[in-house]
Structure 1
Amino acid sequence: MQDDLAADGTAAAPIVDPAHARPHATAEEYRSAVAQARRAAAAYYAGEQTLLDDAEYDALYARIVVSEREHPQWRADDSPTAVVGTPGGDIEHSTPMLSIGNVFDTEGLHDWAAKLDKALGRPVTRYTVEPKIDGLAIAVRYVEGRLTLIATRGDGYTGEDVTSQARLIAGLPTRLSAPVTIEIRGEVYMTDADFAMGCDLRLAHGEPVFANPRSAAAGSLRAQRVYDVPLSFMAYAATGLPDEHAHSHSTAIAHLAALGVATTAESSAGLTVCADIDEVTTAVAALGARRGDLGFGIDGVVIKADLAADQAQAGYSTRAPRWGIAHKFPADTRTTTLLRIDVQVGRTGVITPVAVLEPVQVGGVVVTSATLHNFADLQRRDVRAGDTVYVRRAGDVIPEITGAVHDARPADAEPYTPPVTCPRCGGDIDRSNQRWRCARGRACGEKATLLYFTSRDAMDIEGLGEKILDALLAAGHITDAADLYALDVPTLAAMDRLGTVSATNLVNSIAATKARPLSRVLTGLGIRMTGRTLSRRIARHFGTMDAILAAALAEWEQVDGIGTERAAVISAELAEVAPLIAKLAAHGVNMTEPTGPAAATDDTATAGSALPLRRPDGTPMTVVVTGSVPGLTRNQGNEAVEELGGKSSGSVSARTDFVVVGDGAGSKATKAADLGLPILDADKFAQLLTAHRAGDHDTATAILATVTPTPPR
C-alpha cells in the first residue's frame, strides 16, 4: 500500500485512480499485491469480515493496474484485473456477469465519454445515471412469472445457488405481475435501518456485529441462521425482455418496475436520463450530494449509454462493458486505529463515549474522533483502545464506529470499563435509559449551560464573560439563567474587579436582553436535538412559548425537520425546563416571536410586504449562506434568509435554490459551482435585505433577478 501523508502530516486519502498511482518496484512486490487483493476480494464477496476497506482495496487495485501496464510480463493469471469475483459455483450464468470500469473524477468521466463517442463514430444518443448500490450482485430467473432461481455473481461465469434465501429479500417478488420468462440482475443490499436491526439481532444471539452493510448483506444471503436478517433488492438489468421494452436501458428498468420488481428508478436515488455528458456530470454531482440521505449505501454512480443499439455497437472488453462506467465516490467506511475512549458530558448532563482515532480520511474528510453512541452499545460491540475499527461517514453525518476487526486486536487490549460516577461532577449516573445522564441533569453543567445561554447566538449578553460567571456561581448569586435577571448593582459592585460603573453597565446589558425574540430564548435553553436554525423554525411556527408548551406530539411533527423521535425528545426537554421558563417569564423575559406563526406560512411579512424568498406557491426557497455577509454575523446571515421568507440550510445539495457567497467562502462555494447552482454575491444579499426592510419591492426583485445558474465545473 502507498503510505502517503497529507501536508499536515495526517494520513492522506489512498490513491485509488490508476492515472495517479505508481507501479510496484519489483515483480515480487507486484505478486504480493495480487495475492493480497485476491484474499481481500474473497472475503469481500463471501461477506466475511473485511480485510481491506474500499479505499485501501481500490488503491491496491490501482497499483496493480499501473504495474501491469508498465510491466506486462509480470501479469499473473489470477490478477484481479483478469478475474471477476471469487471462484464460481454450480450455476452457470446465461450470459457473463461482468464487472464495470471505474473513474474517480469529472475529467475521467469526460475521457470515458470521448472514447465511447470515438468507438461509435458519433456522439452517444443519450445516457442514464443511477446509483451504484453497495451490495452483492445476483442473477434471478423467473419462468412464466414464478421465481425459480437466485444465483450469486461468483466468478462472473458461474455462481452459487441461494434461492432458499428469497424469503429474506424485499423488492424481489416470488411471482411477477405477468407470466413472463426473464432473467433479472441487480444488487442485494441492506438499508441503514435494516443494518442496525441486523447488528442488534447478531448481538442478541451472541455473535459479533456486522462489519458494514455490504458484508452483512453478502454474508446473510449465504448463511442459514435461526433468525432472519432483512435484506433488500434493486434491479439494474434484465435479459429476455420483449423488443418493445428492450430498446433502451430506461425502458427496460421501467418494465421491470411494472412487473413488481424494485429498481434503481424507483429508489430514493432515482434513475436520470441525460442528453449529454454535461448533464451526466450534473446528475452525478447531485446524487453525490444526496448520498447521506438515501437510507442505503452507495459507493458511486453508474453511467450507461441508454439505447440498446449504442450498447451493442460499443460492445465489451474482456471484463467490462465499454458502454458503461462507474463514477466512484470517496469511501464512506474506512479502517483506522482507536487510540483511546474519552467521555464527554453535555450541557444537559448526557454522558457519551467518544472514540479518539488515528486520523483517517473518510468520505473526503479527515476524521479524528467518532461517536460510540452509548455505553451499552460500546460494551456489546466489544470495542477497545488499540483496536482496528471501522469508521463510517455517509454524506455529512457525524462519523461513527460500526465495529472492530477482532482478529487484529493487540494482545494487551483491555475491555473498556464505563465510568461509575459522573466524570464532570463526581455525582451519580442515571442509567435508566440507553443514553446515560448525570443524575443532577442540567445542574451538573450549570456553567456550560449559562455560557451557552449568554452566548452571541443565544441571548448575547454583552460584558458577561466566563470569569464573571465563575465568580457569580462561586458566590451562590446564581444557579440558573433566570437568576441573572435578579442581579442588582450593589450585589455586582461588591464583587472583585467590578465596581459601580461596571456593575451598572452589566445590569443594563442583562436587562436589555429581556426583549430578545422567542427564538433566541429557545436557543439559549439548549433543548436537546435543536439548534439555532431549528429554534427559529419552532418559534416562528408556534409564535408563543405558551403555544410551544401546550403543543401535542402530532403538532410538533408539523414543524419542518421534526419527526416522531425528535418531537418526543424536544417535548420531554421542554417539560423538564418548564420551571426555568416560568421563572424567566416572571422576570419579564419576552416569550413571543415578533413575526408570529404567520411567518412560517403566509406570503407577507409583518409590514405587509411580499417575502422575496418565497416561491409563487408560498413555499420557502432553500438558501445556503457561505462566507461573510457585510454587516452580519454568520448566524445573522441565516436569520436574514428566514426573515426574507426562505429556509436556511447548512449544506449544499441539488435541492438548494441558490447560494450566497461572500469573502472567506470555502467548500460550500466549490460544491455549488460543481453542481451548477445559482449564486448571489454577499454584497447583493445585504442590499436585498435592506431593500426588503425598507419595503422597496422593485429593488428587491431586481436584485433577485441577478441570481443566475453557473455552469457546472
Structure 2
Amino acid sequence: MTQEQAAARAEELRSIIKTYDYQYYVLDQPTVSDVEYDQLMRELISLEEQFPELVTVDSPTQRVGGGVLEGFEKVAHRVPMLSLANAFQAEDLRDFDRRIKSIVPNESVDYVAELKIDGLAVSLVYENGVFVRGATRGDGEIGEDITSNLKTIKSLPLTLPQPISIEVRGEAYLPKKEFERINREREAAAEPLFANPRNAAAGSLRQLDPKIVARRNLSIFTYAIGWVEGVDIPTHAAGLELLSEFGFKVNNETRVLPDIESVIEFVNSWTGERRAALPYEIDGIVIKVNQSNLYPRLGTTAKSPRWAIAYKFAAEQAETTLRDIIVSVGRTGAVTPTAILDPVRLAGTTVSRATLHNEDRIRELDVQIGDTVVVQKAGDIIPEIVRVVTEKRDGSERPFQMPTHCPECDAELVRLQGEVALRCINPQCPAHNRESIIHFVSRDAMNIDGLGEQIVTQLFEQGLVQDPSDLYYLTMDQLLPLERMGQKSAENLLASIARSKENSVERLIFGLGIRFVGEKAAKLLAGHFGTLDRLMQADIEELVTVPEIGIKMADSIKQFFNQEDTLEVIEKLRRAGVNFNYHRPVITASDNSPFAGKTFVLTGTLEAMDRKEAGRLIEQFGGKVTGSVSKNTDFVVAGEKAGSKLDKARELGVQIADEQTLLGWLRESGYNG
C-alpha cells in the first residue's frame, strides 16, 4: 500500500470509527458489533504505526493514553467555575424563585431543570474547533490540567464540526455497570474498593497514567458553555442545543419548565424508583434561569450565581432484611456489632453490611435477627440502620445478645466505667494485634503503600509480623511467597517501608495506637516534646500542660509507655532506624496573617482540598484548628453539606467563612497551591 492509499484509508477509518463512537457513547445507540469495531480500530492502529505521519490529533487511536505524567499543572479558568447554592426542600426553591422575581420583576422567566450528575466537574477548552485543554474545577479559579486523561473519554469529541473557540463545562462520571466491573476486578486483585461511582471517577481522572484512565470507561455529560467567541446564545436551552449539534453528550432528561411549581413537580418525579433505574448516579436536580441575558443583572454571590440553584436529594433509604449480627474486635479491643443484610442497592453501591455501633444502639433500635430494616448511607458513604419496620414482624425474629467472651481469644469482655463499648483487654489478643498493624501502616499514620488489610493478614497469620516493629525486618524472600505478591510489588513495598522510617514522629505516635490519642493530639504531643523519648519520660503533670491534652488522655499515654510490650516494640523500632524526632514545619505566618492567633473549625466538604489539608495549612500559617464550635471559635469555614457545626456557629454568632474566603486568606499568607 502506498502512502497515498494509506492516507485515504486512514481518513476513511477515522470517519467510520468516530461515527460508531458517537452512536455508542453519545446517542447510546450502537450500530456495529464489538468484533467489527475492534477490527477497524486494529487496522487504523496498524496504518498509523506503518505511516506515523498520518496520525492526527483527533484520531481515535489517541484516546488510549500516552506516557505516565509526572504531575498535574495548574491552569487558570478564564471564567470562574462557581459552585451552586443548595436547596433541600420545596420551599427553598420557592424562595429562590421569589429572589429572582424581586431582582428582575418585569421580566418573563422560565427555568431549565437538569439532573445533577454525581461525578467530577471539568472544563473543556477548544481552540479553532480542536480540544486543547481539560481541567478540574479546583477552587473555581484555578484547576489542574487533566487533558491527557479526558482525551480517553470516548463521548468527548476531540474536534468540533466548526472551527470555533469555546469553553464547555461538563461532569465526568462513571456509569454504574463500569463501577461494578471495576470493583469486582479490584476485589479479585485484593485492592481497596471504591466507595461510590463519584469517588471512582474523581480517582480515575487524578491518575498520572492515562492508560489506567482509558481502562475505566468514563463518560461525560456537558451542561453549560463557559465562554464562546463569535456566537450569541440567548438562552441556556439554546446553549445546550448548540452543544448537542457540536457532538457533545447532553443529558436527554433536561426540561425547560414555565414556573417554579413545574420545577418542584419535576424534582419530585426523580426521588423514587425512577432515579434508581438510571444507568448513572445523580444526587439532585440543578435549576437555572433559562434567559441567559438576565445573568448579569441577577449577578453572583462570593461563590455562587444567583440565577442557579442545586436541589439536593435527602439521604437515600432502602428496606432489606437483617440476616445476622456479627462482632469484630478493633485495635483498641472494642467489640463492634455489624449487621449482615440481604444485599440492597443504595446510593450507587450494593450494601450488605451496616454498622450497629454498640450494644446500646441495638437496644435503642430494638433490632432483631430476621427484622425488616430501613438502611441509609450517612453522608451517602457509611451504611447505617435507621429503624426497624416492626409492623412486618411475623414472630420468627430472634433477639441478639452480645457475647460475653472475645470471639478471637476467648478472654472475658468488660465494659469499662463510663464507656458504652464492650472491650477485650487481653494484650495478646490476635485481633487487637492484627488491627494495630493495619492502623500503623494506614495513610494517616506511617503511610506505607502496598500494605493493605489482606497483605497484613497474610503476614500476621504466617507469623512474619506480630507487631508493627516486625515490618521493618521483612525481607524479599519472606514477601515473595505471599498471594498476589510479585517481584515488583515486593520491591515497592520494601521501598515504602524504608521511606516510612523518615516520617516525622507525630505519625509514629499516632500509628502506635495509644488509646484516646488521635492524629491531632499526636501532632500536639510531638510539637511539645520534640522526640518520642521525651514524651515517654513525661509524667502526667507535664502531659496535661500540653493544650487539649486532658487527664484522661494523659493517663492513657502514661499507661501505654509503662507496658513492657510497648517498650519492646519501641526498642525494635529504634534498632530498625525509625525516626523518633519531630520535623517542625517552617511557619511562614506573620503577625498580620489572617490566621495568626485565630481558632478555626472546618465543616462540610471542600472542593479545592480536603479538610485535613486545609487544617494543616491553617496551622502552618499560625492558626489553630479544633473539632467543635464554642464561644472561643473565631471562624467556622463551611463547605458543601455543612451540618450541625454551622448551625452552632450561627447560634453563637461565630463568623462564618466559605471556601473561597479561606483560599483568599491562604494566598494572602503565601500559599500558592
TM above 0.5, yes or no, is no
Q: TM-score normalized by structure 1?
A: 0.38
Q: TM-score normalized by structure 2?
A: 0.40
